[in-house]
Amino acid sequence: MFTRRGDTGETDTGSRKRVTKASAIIEVEGRIDSVNSFLGLAWSKCQWDDMKKDLALVQEDLFVIGEELTAEGKNRTLADERLKWMEARTLELKGEAGKIKLFIMPGGSEISALFHVCRTQSRLLERTVVQAKEGMGVRPLVLSYLNRLSSLLFMHSVVANVRLGISERIWSINREI
C-alpha cells in the first residue's frame, strides 16, 4: 500500500503531526520497528515455548512504547508491572544459566546469535530514545524498560546455548594468533 504522501521526505506521526522523515520521533519509530522485526525473527526460530512467550510479550510492550512515544499514548502507556516482569524473568533465566564468564563471544548456536542481534538492536533503540527524549517527554519507566531489555535478551542467548548443550566461547585477551 502507498499514499504518495511520503514522496517529499515527510511523513505523519501516530498523532497525525506532519514531520520530516529525518526527525527524532521517526527515528525512534523506526528503531522500535527494527527491534520488533528482529524479535519476530527470533520468535520464529526459537524452539522453546517459554522464550517464545517472552518475545511475544516484549513485542506487545514495544507496540505500547511506540504509541506512548510517537502517538502521545492514545491512553496506552507502559505499566510498571511490565518492568517488574522483565526483571523477574531475567533473574529466572540467570538461575538457569548459572555462572556467566565475561566476555561471551556472540554465537554458539544460531538462535543464541540471533538473540545477540536482538540485544544489540535493543541497545541501539535505547540510545536513540535517550537522544530523542528531550523533545518527546520520555518517562523514566520507558528508559528503564529499554535498559533491561538488553539484559533479558542476553540471558536468552546464554540459556539457549545451555539448553542446546553448546559451550560459550569466552573472549580472552591472552589468545594466540
Tell me, what CATH number does 76's domain have? 1.20.1200.10
Per-residue pLDDT tens for 24-81?
787 889 899 999 999 999 999 999 999 999 999 999 999 999 988 887 656 789 999 9
Tell me the pTM: 0.88
> Phi first, then psi: what are they for 61, rounded to 5°?
-60, -40
Query: Is residue 13 in some structural domain?
Result: no
Report residue 63 as a C-alpha cell: 507496540
Query: Is residue 12 in some structural domain?
Result: no
Query: Is residue 4 in some structural domain?
Result: no
Q: Which domain holds residue 87?
A: 18-170
Query: What is the number of domains present in the chain?
Result: 1
Cα–Cα distances (Å) from 80 to 18, 77, 83, 142, 150, in that order, read 31, 9, 6, 9, 18
Query: Is residue 44 in some structural domain?
Result: yes
